[in-house]
Amino acid sequence: MTMTSKQRTEQHESFTWIDSVRQVGKFNQWTRRDWLKSVATGSLGALATLPSDHGQLIAAESDKCLVAITLDLEMSANFPTRETTHWNFEKGNLNDETKKYSVEAARRVKAAGGLIHFFAVGRVFEQANIDWIAEIAKSGHPIGNHTYDHVNVTATTINDLQFRFQRSPWLLRGQSVDEAIRDNIQLTSKAMKSRLGVDPVGFRTPGGFANGLRDHPKVRSTLLDLGFDWVSSLYPPHPNSEPMQQPTAAVLEGIVAAQARAQPFVYPDGLVEIPMSPISDIGAFRTGQWRLEWFLQAVREAVDWAIENRAVFDFLAHPSCLYVVDPDFKSIDLICDRVKKAGDRAMIADLTTIARRAKGKNH
């Protein structure tokens, strides 16, 4: 069957979430009680195992819930309108609204005593004025590598790599897909060093994968070879509502239950995985077409689960989406407020701190 251009766009955009937000039936009945039972019996496996060697953890964080606020600096298709898809070819061409939102979000979290961990696509640094992101970096917020063109690092064909290369394959200059992926990562690091004078802090894959990079040792090897000791690539499966339908109690329970599968772990080769915690803004507002209050409820319940279980929560969002759906920063303020109310049971942390905890390293 021949797909239309729109269908191909939707199919490719959904590769990041296809294993994560479409499995409503499978996870609707998985409640917190089921998760606790699974932990007790060990049936969840390695992904559900929280770090246990507290003697090796940083003393000040050993018994705290670690909450990360992470924002991906890229343009998002379907925002500000559902018909807006040209961003798929211009991921790094950030508009003024996205930049202003990023700066204000950074200011708010810093004022609350924390830092945001940003991830930038390399093409951001082609823009004439990058004072806004330089301000973010100067304020101490870490900025990680998100590839140059927002490429799919698990791609095996050019068509799976990125829209830009589908349309203009000559841009690859004869590179193989593996070579293009490596080059895309390296270019971003060089761009950051050239324009900001800093090296990237960590790596996040464009898109989230239900099994992380467990099935992609070649990608892990590339990242280790390029100097990265942690990655954020895993986005666990979870239920979602039908578009524009309020999430049911079962959906919300499933999202909370999925937090256990979003806990950090170490791959056999030593690379640390720091999963993204559901539900993302894209999952809620593009896929589910939720109202803001529904999203805030899901985030609140997920953060509270992490605090209660002294676990990790990695909020995943995009300023290019949030400035449209959450212009008053309610989701970020909510997270900061929940952490503040938790007192010494929780803290806002960057992903490097979480990686150290997962690997059992000291400062």
**Residues 230/271, Cβ–Cβ less than 8 Å:** yes
Q: For residues 22 and 34, give the distance between their C-alpha atoms in angstroms, rounded to a whole number.
A: 20
Q: For residues 98 and 92, give the distance between their C-alpha atoms in angstroms, rounded to a whole number.
A: 11
User: What is the four-CA torsion angle of 56, 62, 63, 65, rounded to 10 degrees?
Assistant: -120
E-strand spans in the chain? 65-73, 116-120, 143-145, 203-209, 230-234, 265-266, 272-273, 312-317, 346-348
Q: What is the pLDDT of residue 62?
A: 63
Tokens standing for residue 313: 């929560």
Q: For residues 52 and 43, give the distance between their C-alpha atoms in angstroms, rounded to a whole number.
A: 17
Q: What is the pLDDT of residue 8?
A: 35
pTM score above 0.75 = yes
**Residues 228/202, Cβ–Cβ less than 8 Å:** yes
Q: What is the pLDDT of residue 90?
A: 83
In this structure, the number of other CB atoms found within 10 A of the CB of residue 221 comes to: 13
Q: How far is CA 129 from CA 90, 199, 291, in A?
A: 17, 19, 34
Q: What is the pLDDT of residue 32?
A: 40
Q: For residues 119 and 141, give the distance between their C-alpha atoms in angstroms, rounded to a whole number.
A: 10
249-270 exposure pattern, b = at least 16 Cβ within 10 A, e = fewer: ebbbbbbbbbbbbbbbbbbeee
Tokens standing for residue 171: 């841009």
Q: For residues 91 and 315, give the distance between their C-alpha atoms in angstroms, rounded to a whole number.
A: 21
Tokens standing for residue 63: 């018994």
Q: What is the pLDDT of residue 77?
A: 83
Domain span at 184: 5-48+57-359
One-letter amino acid identity for 131?
D
Q: What is the pLDDT of residue 16?
A: 39
For CA atoms 183, 185, 186, 187, the dihedral sign is positive
330-348 exposure pattern, b = at least 16 Cβ within 10 A, e = fewer: bbbbbbbebbeebeeebbb
In this structure, what CATH number is given to the domain that contains residue 152?
3.20.20.370
Q: What does the pLDDT profile of the chain (363 residues) look like in tens digits?
A: 343 433 333 333 333 333 333 333 333 334 444 444 443 343 343 333 333 333 334 423 468 999 999 999 999 888 898 888 887 888 888 999 999 999 999 999 999 999 999 999 999 999 999 999 999 999 999 999 999 999 999 999 999 999 999 999 999 999 999 999 999 999 999 999 999 999 999 999 999 999 999 999 999 999 999 999 999 999 999 999 999 999 999 999 999 999 999 999 999 999 999 999 999 999 999 999 999 999 999 999 999 999 999 999 999 999 999 999 999 999 999 999 999 999 999 999 999 999 999 998 433
- Total domains in the chain come to 1
Q: How far is CA 74 from CA 101, 187, 297, 350, in A?
A: 12, 16, 25, 19
**Residues 135/102, Cβ–Cβ less than 8 Å:** no
In this structure, the number of other CB atoms found within 10 A of the CB of residue 135 comes to: 15
Q: For residues 147 and 159, give the distance between their C-alpha atoms in angstroms, rounded to a whole number.
A: 17
Q: For residues 277 and 269, give the distance between their C-alpha atoms in angstroms, rounded to a whole number.
A: 23
